[in-house]
Amino acid sequence: MTLGAVDLLVLAGYFAMTLVVGLYFARRARRSMLDYFLSARSMPWWVAGTAMVATTFSADTPLAVTEMVAKNGIAGNWLWWSMLASGMLTVFFFAKLWRRAAVVTDVELAELRYSGRPAAFLRGFRAAYLGLLVNILIMGWVNLGMAKVLGGMLGVSKWAALVICLVLTALYTVLAGYWGVASANGLQYLFEMGGAIVLAFVSVAAVGGIAAMKARVGAAHPAFSPEGTRFGSAEAILAIWPLGIEGVWILPVITFATLLGVSWWASWYPGAEPGGGGYVAQNMLACKDEGNARAAALYFNVAHYAIRSWPWVVTALCSLAIFGGSVRNAAGAEDPGLNYVRMMVDYLPPGLRGFMLASFAAAYMSTQATQMNWGSSYLINDLYRRFLRKGASERTYVFASRVATALTVVLSLVATVFMNQISKVWELLLTLGAGTGLVYILRWYWWRVNAWSEVAAMSSALVTSVSLRSLGSHYAAFDPATPRGFAMTLVTTTVVTTAVWLSTTFATRPEPREKLLAFYEKVRPAGPGWKRIAGSEGVAARRGEIPRNLAFWGLGTVFVYSIMFATGAVIFGQHSRAIFFGALLAISGGLLFSGLVREKT
């Protein structure tokens, strides 16, 4: 694809604006480690919320969505749609608790909640696990997505182009800290959404309209039922629920049930951690107060699920109708996500090509900048400062933070070399974290959870999931390459991990009463799980908050899904479904926001 003068001007303008915004805050980042990683806890909700949603809008995501649609229709998106329930738990149960905890990173919570060497070991172990393994995996798959886009659109060496984008991102991230990252994210989000919407409109025009797309997409879908018959139905491909024609499920029942019933609370996953965590916790901790923290988390979940889904899905469906679902990359591997890139190359006119490239650069940079800053926060706050260099000056820690940020850049490029398909990395992270979610939820609301509970959960999840993935090469039931095998692996890992960490909890001593009471008085969690600690010290237990938050959680989940499904129904001309979900949207939204208003008064 060739770029004209207008395209190059748009690209140059985007990079210039991003660098100016990002580097404007470099002076603030020099002041302290708290400035560098949390913007001195001064962020308003809309900046923090936009930073969260821009981070999850990465260069790999539309390719992964296209891959899901090609394999399992619209319903394939339940792999990530199912995590909304976890996000809403964070909004109504954990956002305020995180802000009250006032830690620098989420893994620092280990030594606030637990005591002694087990707590120190847990903090260091999780910092290394998340800061090196998980963070580098995430950055690697984002590199992979951007490399595919650049290689497909420009026909140049994808590695050379990728390194240029990564170096520009590292420039303002290393120098400007989190204020620079979050502020640049706001600008980048405008480009990200703008590019996705523009390509969706161009794709619909290319296929001849929504009606023409619906007429062609069923025959183009490559999926087959277990009986070997082609689904071949536009109605099945466009269905929200994965029920295909003649009662055949496009997505296996066990997989769908696992996603809706298990994964959202059982699996630790970046951006949708049960109990909060990762860069979501980082943004809530950066907010100026508890109210802003919860508002930021709510805004993030609405924008992440309800606003962004359909531009990607519409383009994916149009690409499926035009190109079909059987696509291979340069190495000969099946890679239907490349259809998204082909839509840009084949159908974008001059002028919009530069804008679309800028939107992908924005998506890439917003994610990588956050991952660089977030990952280095673990390396410095929870490893270097905690175990290697206590009591050094703030200038020393800021310098070390910049070095650690640069290190993550190099490691992410190494990880990218060993990756192939993006959605497979998503599935890997879901299974690696399977079963750990419950302990991250209960540590806030049950006094008996101790440091060994978390250690047992993490280690057993890692060993079990890796063992089952190896077993999958010999037994189809656990083959992670299939939806059914993925579900079996996740459920089995969850059962084993839960049994291990619960047994470990009751086999080891509880945390000292003084530590538990100090945590309770600082964070003030509600519910009966702390009655034994609070009651013994004459501290009044918090009542009524759990039922209210449960009601908010349910209403919030229905509210966001209603926006999603009502929007999809309007796009595809499904009038009765649009009316139903529109009514559900009005009812759930009215009850939710009236309840939140009453809570404040």
Distance CA(336)–CA(38), nearest Å, equals 39
Q: How many domains does the structure of the chain reveal? A: 1
Would you state the pLDDT for residue 523? 93
Range of the domain at 167: 5-421
Residue 250 carries which DSSP code? S
pLDDT at 317: 93
Quick one: pLDDT at residue 157? 64
Q: Please give the average per-residue pLDDT across 435-451, as a whole number.
A: 93
Does residue 131 lie within any of the structural domains? Answer: yes
Is there a domain that residue 563 lies in?
A: no
pLDDT in tens, 157-202: 666 666 777 777 877 777 777 888 888 888 889 999 999 999 999 9
In a domain, 530, yes or no: no
pLDDT at 427 over 80: no
Mean pLDDT of 459-488: 78
Identify which has the larger pLDDT, 400 or 169: 400
315-368 per-position pLDDT tens digit: 999 998 888 766 655 555 567 778 888 898 889 888 888 888 889 888 888 888
Q: Rounded to 5 degrees, what are φ and ψ at 14? A: -60, -50
In a domain, 117, yes or no: yes
Core vs surface per residue 166-182: b (16+ CB within 10 A) or e: bebbbebbbbbbbbbbb
Residue 500 vs residue 475, higher pLDDT: 500
Residue with token string 């172990």: 125
What's the rounded Cα separation, in Å, for the pair 443 and 451? 9
Which CATH number is 94's domain given?
A: 1.20.1730.10
Please work out, in degrees rounded to the nearest 5, the angle formed at the alpha carbon of residue 238 by the alpha carbons of 232 and 241. Answer: 105
Neighbours of 67 (CB within 10 A): 27
Examine residue 489 and state whether it is found in any structural domain, yes or no. no
- Residue 590 falls within a domain, yes or no? no
Q: Supply the pLDDT for residue 230.
A: 43
- State residue 496's pLDDT score: 93
pLDDT at 75: 86
- Return the pLDDT at 196: 92
Structure token pair of residue 363: 């998506």
203-255 pLDDT, tens digit per residue, is 999 999 999 998 888 776 655 444 433 455 677 788 888 765 444 556 677 78
Contact residues for 342 (Cβ-Cβ < 8 A; gap 6+): 152, 319, 323, 327
Whether 126 is in a domain gets the answer yes
pLDDT of residue 165: 73
Give the separation between CA 456 and CA 504, rounded to whole angstroms.
7
For residue 251, give the 3-state DSSP assignment: coil
pLDDT digits (tens, 9 = 90+) for 47-92: 999 999 988 887 778 888 888 888 888 888 988 899 999 999 999 9
What pLDDT is attached to residue 382? Answer: 94
Structure tokens at 47: 């900046």
Flag whether the pTM goes above 0.85.
Answer: yes
Instruction: Decide if 148 is inside a domain.
Output: yes
